[in-house]
A and B are shown apart, each in its own frame.
Chain A
Amino acid sequence: MENKQRMVADILCEFLEVAIHLILYVREVYPSGIFQKKRKYNVPVQMSCHPELNQYIQDTLHCVKPLIEKNDAEKVAVVIMDKEHHPVERFVFEISQPPPLSISPPPAEHQVGIFVFEISQPPPAEHQLLRAFILKISVCDAVLNNNPPGCSFTVLVHTREAATRNMEKVQVIKDFPWIVADEQEVYMPEPRLIPLKTMTSDIVKMQLYVEERAQKT
């Protein structure tokens, strides 16, 4: 179980890194010049080559990982904020445990799969599912309104119950602590929800939706 969660966290954090870069690119938070086309999950993605940005994202995810491992993170949100630091868009990755029996996911397969390996092999199946997320993100600008200029971003983690209390202990990087988000950073007037993608695999269930402020300007 622990191993499985660790594997889930590894897979998700790897994915989140790619996703965050891509969101930043697609939503034009940073100039497209700092992005480079790379290949991940067998699809082209845009990855920043700005070292500080990359470091920030990596550090953030490094801190997210233990939360996911413990299944404490309910949502990981990439929040795009305007100049006043009011959120205009939120890309929310909602992570949950797969339904109990879905070690063999859909019931039919459950019937057929004569047995299920105890050690499930992560990559191919999950990668395929994650690729769909990436593709959705790259086209999400079609359903979103343009953001006002001068946006920045931050990463929020919605923890389950009392996870924050333990946060101090699990602080991975000393000078990179989690802080409780301001109300200002969280509150979004008249949010609109745009579901992007949902996946259910053996080991994790995740959906991505965007919350958008109705009036962006």
Chain B
Amino acid sequence: MSRDGWSKKRANAGDDNGWAQSGGYMAAKVSKLQEQFHREAPREKQKEGVDSQIFHGVAIYVNGYTDPGAEELRRLMMLHGGQFHAYYSFSKTTHIIASNLPNSKIKELKGEKVVRPAWITDSVKAGCLLSYLQYQLYAKQKGLNFPGVGLLQNHQGPPQHNHLRSSPPNALHLSNRSPDQPLPGRMPHSSSEPCHAQAQNDSPCNGPKQCYRDIHLNGAVLESGSVAPRPVKVQQGESKPLTNGHAHPVNGALKPADPHPCPPRATAEDAAQSRLKSPEAGASSPAARTPHEPTPTDPYTFPHSPPREDRRFPVSTGRPGAHEAGEKLPKPPPPTYQEAIAATLSHPPLPLPPLPPPHPCRPGSHTEEPQLPSASRSPVRLNGSHRNAFSSDLAAAKPSIAGGAISEFYAHSRYHQISTWRIEFSEYVNELHSRRRAEADAPLPGKERLRRCAPQFPSQESDRENAFRVSYKSCILHVDMDCFFASVGIRDQPDLKGKPVAVTSNRGLGRATLRPGADPQMERQYYQRKYSAAEPESLQADLNEVAGQDSSVLSMAEIASCSYEARAAGIKNGMFFGKAKQLCPALQSVPYDFEAYKEVALAMYETLASYTHDIEALSCDEVLIDATALLSELSISPEDLARAIREDIKEKTGCSASVGMGSNILLARLATRKAKPDGQYMLRSEEVDAFIQDLSVTSLPGVGPVMGRKLSGMGVKTCGDLQHISQSQLQKAFGPRTGQTLFRFCRGLDDRLVRYEKERKSISAEMNYNIRFAGVEEAEAFLTNLSSEVQRRLLEAGQRGRRVTLKAMVRKAGAPVESAKYGGHGICDHLARTVTLAQATDRGQLIASTVIKLFHSMKLPAQDMRGVGIQVQQLEGAHSAPENHKCSIKDLLLGQGPAARSSSAAADTGSERGRCSAAGRPSRSPEPVPGTSRDPPPATPPPSPLHSRTTRLNLSIEVPSPSQVDRSVLAALPAELREQVEQSWSRRERRPGTLLLEIPNQPGQSGPTDIVLELPDFSQVDPDVFAALPRELQEELRSAYHRKLNAQPPAKPSEQRNPLLQLRQPGAGVARAKRRYKRKNALSPVKKVPSPLKRHVTGSSPAKAQPPPPLRSREAAGGLKCSLGDQPHPRAAPTLAGACEMTDIRALLREWVTSISEPMEEDVLQVVKYCTDLIEDKDLEKLDLVIKYMKRLMQRSEDSVWSMAFDFVLDNVQMVVQQAYGSILKMA
């Protein structure tokens, strides 16, 4: 904008009177140009013979090519009292005029008003300054997106024709907003202060402050229009009613729902105003106005803006961003909870994968939530990306909201709701079954009724029925509601019956303005190229026409469902509304009504359930019934059943259903096609071949456009063609399963069963609508939010998954920055990356950190992200697992309720270990083991709630690696937790592991149980950290160390110990070890003790519980390692008494050799066993080191027994090596 930063600065620094200053070339030039302008202005005015002050206070700067051109605009500004700046000045230019701006400039535009040139021309035509809002080039504001809602609510009578219904968007805005945000004092004044009303109307989303501000900026209207010098006044006669006209619908719309006490007066005045106004309006621009000749009795129809507006209604209605953002709002009040939610709600729902045809709909057309305050104040950036809703609004709002943003969103997303209905209905069916099991033979009303009627049927059609009996082993009914949404939508509007009706979110005429940066043409071309005209009809929108109409394109709201009348006109589900409207101008649009859908769907399910429970829910309006049993029981023909069902549904729901029947699912579904609309069809086996022969392949379930294209590439159009292709060929082209399915399907074969219970393979949450991140942080925040949504779904489904996939849609390089469809994803590259977690999880946090890592590893540009999805696969039921997964570290450590359970990630191992050791321990060591498993209370606060607990707690917390942890989060943790986390890191430096908190159960001991944490060696304690701890904690630690010192001696036999044995069974084995010491001390080597070899084997078997880590300083470190290292593992590395690392083994051997005078046989055997394991494990290097080390140790020992022991070991080892390698180790 500013071509010269310096001049901009100067201009900023200068006062309003900019020309007086001249410093530097640019300033001089600017002021000279201004002077010129001012000199010429009167001359021009004289020449033209006009002297208006329409644009007083308006200073425009023309950027780029415009129509009319800059010269003409300059002239117009001269004529009508405005200013024209040849150079943009931030402080002085009030409006930028442009028809198109490059992206870089758009970015620079923060708060400037960028207006299309038509604003000027139209204002001149209208003779007054029009609101620039309708002419904004870029819509920065989102919200106010409830077109038609208030209207329809208010509309009791039959709707007017389309134009009328969609005409007053402003009214709707206000009506939406009014319940929650009444405009104080505004209503009563609206007629006396038209300007205010207008401003209010123009920026209904902004608070009052903003309104005033707009007025100032516009410069055209000031307080109440009575300020003398203002030119407005000059033309007040004309402009007042006009603006009033603007304001008018507001009041009108407000009337029904208005909480204000004075609406009647306002409307009365409005009516008067409108009456007053209409002739004048007609005079000012008669040609344009005429189509909407207003009737005073119906304020809704009142045109509120000049002619061109009409065509642009969809712009302001359908597009959330059609209004200037509250960008300059000095200090927006902090968003309230409701507003924040509303901000989320005003996010468009997104198409969800499970929904058959994805119909991403227009943002903000939340017709079902009219009561919501349109928190459009949320400063939504260009195109209303999700960003602001999540970042500014939610960040400002309560933190809980931010977290719940996506779930809120999903909770209100229509498509999401519908897609979840299937699951709900599946569950409903499940429930039916379980109830049925419980109630044994509760009668099914529908069935009973049929039974009663049954005798009538066979008499009529006994022959056919018999034929059926013979030919069908099974009979599947496929019940499908006819154009579900549409028929539900018009069920209460009889006048719409028989007319082409489409359910869509677009309320207008199917037009929208072209957003800058968007290039629908290119996108269409892209898709056309991509699909090589496979679906020409749906994609070939009239581009030429689009191009001809400046910045107005066909609405890209998709049609979710359309009536058969509309289908007859060539309209299809999923078609863009704009296109459809062209095909069928009489097309009526009906809003979504989700409550009604649900109601009807439920009624349908209930109806069906009254006949049989062998139901599979395919979607909210589509059901498969396995009628085999029912038919044979009632001995009626399927057609009778279908008829009964259809009548029943029609009666109960008011909507018609079609039923297809066949011997399998495929045939039933195909039959439904033929049955529609409102009919039934039985596809008999003898007809199948002929029927399927000419069926297009794409009508087979599972054959979508992609596969269809692939098949047509193979020259296959119909199922008949497909039958000529061999199975192996199909399998080669489509993979073994799909190939086989195709092969069977095209012959009408289908062996799928009607399953009322469906197992979910994956759970995911995906958004590819309105994803615009400003930066990585936003992307991360979004991923986190999305993860918690996934968590919610996982919990809902009671599943946990191991594989996490991050799916990303990234704007294709070279694709337009802005998609043709508002908020759409445009042309994208689809990327996905998967990781496998160590354990199945349903924790959002874990998923979030995982996907964020993935996100970073994929190196995706945050700005170009257009869609994000998180999918969790490899599901396993979480039923067996502990319920509470949300316990934080803190919960665990503080021993609050959740602590009783393991944290989810380690839950399985934890509980398993807990069980095992709890089971194994008492039998092995009835006597308590003081000092080892019960060590001094650790660096955690005294867990008071735990004192009474007698059960074993086995808590395992996953501590993320230091790099994964946000330092600030860590800093925010309580000191003790922080310390603990840090501790676990420092421990991990040597060997990464989980931090294991164990509260060992003391059987027969009711004394207090503390959480036992192993303490680091006192020397390892960082004095700084220690000093930073709270006093009580310090004290506790000190006493813990003190106790440890005291506790150690009794645990340690003063005489020689057998470290090998002790370490072999750390913890659990301690008792035994002690016993063994006693035996040793008693010098009774003859006594048979279990062979260490054997015990070693059992000890290392993964099924065996790992003993709790011994909690002693140096040995503890080693011991801990063993216990951590010995996690159940199919094929663990060979260990010697749990030691695996060379250093540990060395230490172990050294202690063994030095501390014991005479090696025990079982110990020697254990070593041999270890060496053998090493050979088996093909780890000769380690074997070599072990042998060499032993050799040094043992042969050095004076005691010849040790030498002999070594020879024994070596001989055995050599033997095994010889067997394995045919050679023996070289012993130097």
Using a CB–CB cutoff of 8 Å, the interface residues on chain A facing chain B are 94, 96, 99-101, 104, 106-118, 143, 188, 190-198, 200, 205, 207, 209, 211-212
- Asked if A99 and B1183 make an inter-chain contact with CB atoms under 8 angstroms apart, the answer reads no
- Asked if A198 and B1130 make an inter-chain contact with CB atoms under 8 angstroms apart, the answer reads no
Cα of A13 to Cα of B717 in the assembled complex, Å: 50
Name the A residues within 8 Å of B1133 (CB-CB).
Answer: 99, 106, 200
B991's partner among A108, A190, A212 (CB-CB below 8 A) is A108
CB A156 to nearest CB in B, in angstroms, measures 14
Name the B residues within 8 Å of A106 (CB-CB).
Answer: 1125, 1133, 1140
17 more A-B residue pairs beyond the given contacts A118-B836, A198-B1182, with a C-beta to C-beta distance below 8 A:
A96-B1178, A104-B838, A106-B1133, A108-B1121, A113-B838, A114-B837, A114-B846, A115-B838, A117-B857, A143-B1228, A191-B1222, A192-B1223, A193-B1217, A193-B1224, A194-B1226, A200-B1133, A200-B1179
Cα of A196 to Cα of B1180 in the assembled complex, Å: 8
- Asked if A110 and B1127 make an inter-chain contact with CB atoms under 8 angstroms apart, the answer reads yes
Proximity bits, B1104-1141, A CB within 8 Å = 1, else 0: 00000000000000000100111101111100000010
A114-B960 CB under 8 A given contacts A96-B1178, A188-B1223, A198-B1178 = yes
B994's partner among A99, A112, A190, A207 (CB-CB below 8 A) is A112
Cα of A96 to Cα of B1176 in the assembled complex, Å: 12
6 contacts between A and B (CB under 8 A): A96-B1178, A100-B1131, A101-B1130, A192-B1224, A195-B1180, A207-B1180
- Asked if B1125 and A108 make an inter-chain contact with CB atoms under 8 angstroms apart, the answer reads yes
Cβ of B958 < 8 Å from any Cβ of A?
yes
A107's partner among B804, B1127, B1178 (CB-CB below 8 A) is B1127
**Shortest Cβ distance from B1179 into A: residue:** A198
Cβ of B834 < 8 Å from any Cβ of A?
yes
**A-contacting residues, B758-812, CB 8 Å:** 804
- Asked if A191 and B1184 make an inter-chain contact with CB atoms under 8 angstroms apart, the answer reads no
Name the B residues within 8 Å of A111 (CB-CB).
Answer: 838, 906, 958, 992-994, 1124, 1127
- Asked if B958 and A194 make an inter-chain contact with CB atoms under 8 angstroms apart, the answer reads no
Cα of A109 to Cα of B836 in the assembled complex, Å: 14
Interface size range of chain B in the complex:
35 or more
Cβ of B881 < 8 Å from any Cβ of A?
no
A112's partner among B836, B846, B958 (CB-CB below 8 A) is B958
Cα of A148 to Cα of B961 in the assembled complex, Å: 54
**A-contacting residues, B863-907, CB 8 Å:** 905-906
Cα of A118 to Cα of B836 in the assembled complex, Å: 7
CB A122 to nearest CB in B, in angstroms, measures 16
Name the A residues within 8 Å of B1127 (CB-CB).
Answer: 107-108, 110-111
Most buried by A among B853, B1130, B1179, B1226: B1226
A198-B1181 CB under 8 A given contacts A192-B1223, A192-B1225, A192-B1226 = yes
**Shortest Cβ distance from B1227 into A: residue:** A192
Name the B residues within 8 Å of A113 (CB-CB).
Answer: 838, 992
Question: Would you list the 5 A-B pairs with minimal beta carbon distance, nearest first?
Answer: A191-B1223, A195-B1180, A192-B1226, A198-B1181, A195-B1184
Name the B residues within 8 Å of A193 (CB-CB).
Answer: 1180, 1217, 1221, 1223-1226
CB A107 to nearest CB in B, in angstroms, measures 4
Name the A residues within 8 Å of B533 (CB-CB).
Answer: none
Cα of A16 to Cα of B1127 in the assembled complex, Å: 34
- Asked if A212 and B1226 make an inter-chain contact with CB atoms under 8 angstroms apart, the answer reads yes
Cα of A190 to Cα of B1221 in the assembled complex, Å: 12
Cβ of B121 < 8 Å from any Cβ of A?
no
Name the A residues within 8 Å of B959 (CB-CB).
Answer: 112
Cα of A214 to Cα of B992 in the assembled complex, Å: 44
Cα of A195 to Cα of B1225 in the assembled complex, Å: 8
Proximity bits, B1186-1228, A CB within 8 Å = 1, else 0: 0000000000000000000000000000000100011111101
Name the B residues within 8 Å of A212 (CB-CB).
Answer: 1226
Name the B residues within 8 Å of A109 (CB-CB).
Answer: 992
Q: Chain B at the A interface: mostly helix, strand, loop or mixed?
A: mixed
Name the A residues within 8 Å of B964 (CB-CB).
Answer: 114
Name the A residues within 8 Å of B1124 (CB-CB).
Answer: 107-108, 111
- Asked if B994 and A94 make an inter-chain contact with CB atoms under 8 angstroms apart, the answer reads no
Cα of A188 to Cα of B1222 in the assembled complex, Å: 9
- Asked if A205 and B1226 make an inter-chain contact with CB atoms under 8 angstroms apart, the answer reads no
Cα of A92 to Cα of B1129 in the assembled complex, Å: 29
Cα of A45 to Cα of B838 in the assembled complex, Å: 39
Name the A residues within 8 Å of B1224 (CB-CB).
Answer: 191-193
- Asked if B1125 and A118 make an inter-chain contact with CB atoms under 8 angstroms apart, the answer reads no
Cα of A194 to Cα of B1225 in the assembled complex, Å: 6
Name the A residues within 8 Å of B849 (CB-CB).
Answer: 114
Cβ of B317 < 8 Å from any Cβ of A?
no
**Shortest Cβ distance from A188 into B: residue:** B1223
**Shortest Cβ distance from A110 into B: residue:** B838
Using a CB–CB cutoff of 8 Å, the interface residues on chain B facing chain A are 804, 833-838, 846, 849-850, 853, 857, 905-906, 958-961, 964, 988, 991-994, 1121, 1124-1127, 1129-1133, 1140, 1178-1184, 1217, 1221-1226, 1228
**Shortest Cβ distance from B991 into A: residue:** A108
CB B586 to nearest CB in A, in angstroms, measures 55
- Asked if A115 and B1126 make an inter-chain contact with CB atoms under 8 angstroms apart, the answer reads no
- Asked if A107 and B1181 make an inter-chain contact with CB atoms under 8 angstroms apart, the answer reads no
Cα of A207 to Cα of B849 in the assembled complex, Å: 37
CB B986 to nearest CB in A, in angstroms, measures 14
- Asked if B993 and A112 make an inter-chain contact with CB atoms under 8 angstroms apart, the answer reads yes
Cα of A128 to Cα of B596 in the assembled complex, Å: 66
A115-B836 CB under 8 A given contacts A106-B1133, A107-B1125, A195-B1225 = yes
- Asked if B1184 and A116 make an inter-chain contact with CB atoms under 8 angstroms apart, the answer reads no
Cα of A116 to Cα of B803 in the assembled complex, Å: 10
**Shortest Cβ distance from B909 into A: residue:** A111
- Asked if A116 and B835 make an inter-chain contact with CB atoms under 8 angstroms apart, the answer reads yes
**Shortest Cβ distance from A132 into B: residue:** B1181
CB A142 to nearest CB in B, in angstroms, measures 10
- Asked if B988 and A112 make an inter-chain contact with CB atoms under 8 angstroms apart, the answer reads yes
Name the A residues within 8 Å of B850 (CB-CB).
Answer: 114-115
A196-B836 CB under 8 A given contacts A107-B1129, A111-B1124, A112-B988 = no
CB A206 to nearest CB in B, in angstroms, measures 9
Cα of A207 to Cα of B1174 in the assembled complex, Å: 12
Cα of A118 to Cα of B1130 in the assembled complex, Å: 20
Cα of A111 to Cα of B1223 in the assembled complex, Å: 39
CB A104 to nearest CB in B, in angstroms, measures 7
Name the B residues within 8 Å of A194 (CB-CB).
Answer: 1184, 1225-1226
CB B629 to nearest CB in A, in angstroms, measures 46
Name the B residues within 8 Å of A192 (CB-CB).
Answer: 1223-1226
Cα of A126 to Cα of B388 in the assembled complex, Å: 46
CB A135 to nearest CB in B, in angstroms, measures 12
Name the B residues within 8 Å of A107 (CB-CB).
Answer: 1124-1127, 1129, 1132
Cα of A197 to Cα of B1184 in the assembled complex, Å: 10
CB A195 to nearest CB in B, in angstroms, measures 3
A117-B835 CB under 8 A given contacts A193-B1221, A194-B1184 = yes
Name the A residues within 8 Å of B1226 (CB-CB).
Answer: 143, 192-194, 212
Cα of A100 to Cα of B1102 in the assembled complex, Å: 15
Cα of A47 to Cα of B1124 in the assembled complex, Å: 43
Name the A residues within 8 Å of B991 (CB-CB).
Answer: 108
- Asked if A99 and B1130 make an inter-chain contact with CB atoms under 8 angstroms apart, the answer reads yes
**Shortest Cβ distance from B956 into A: residue:** A111
A207's partner among B1130, B1178, B1222, B1223 (CB-CB below 8 A) is B1178
Cα of A99 to Cα of B1102 in the assembled complex, Å: 15
Cα of A196 to Cα of B1140 in the assembled complex, Å: 19
- Asked if A112 and B835 make an inter-chain contact with CB atoms under 8 angstroms apart, the answer reads no
**Shortest Cβ distance from B1128 into A: residue:** A107
Name the A residues within 8 Å of B1178 (CB-CB).
Answer: 94, 96, 198, 205, 207
Cα of A131 to Cα of B1127 in the assembled complex, Å: 30
CB B1146 to nearest CB in A, in angstroms, measures 17
Cα of A116 to Cα of B1140 in the assembled complex, Å: 23
Name the B residues within 8 Å of A114 (CB-CB).
Answer: 837-838, 846, 849-850, 905, 958, 960, 964
Name the B residues within 8 Å of A110 (CB-CB).
Answer: 838, 1127, 1129
CB B966 to nearest CB in A, in angstroms, measures 15
